[in-house]
Structure 1
Amino acid sequence: MITPAQISALLLIADKAIELHGFENDVREAKRTLDEAYLTHKRENGFGIERDSPAWDATMAATKNEFAAVGHTKRGAHNAKRRLETAIKAYLRGGAK
Structure 2
Amino acid sequence: MPEYKTLSRTTGATVLTLVAVACAAGLADVLRRRRGRPRAHRPVETVPRQHTPHGVPVIPRQRRTGPDGEAVRLTPAERDAFAVLVRHLSEGD
Q: TM-score range by the shorter chain?
A: 0.3 to 0.5
Max Rg structure: 2
Please, what TM-score do these two structures have when normalized by structure 1? 0.35
Please, what TM-score do these two structures have when normalized by structure 2? 0.37
Higher share in helix: 1
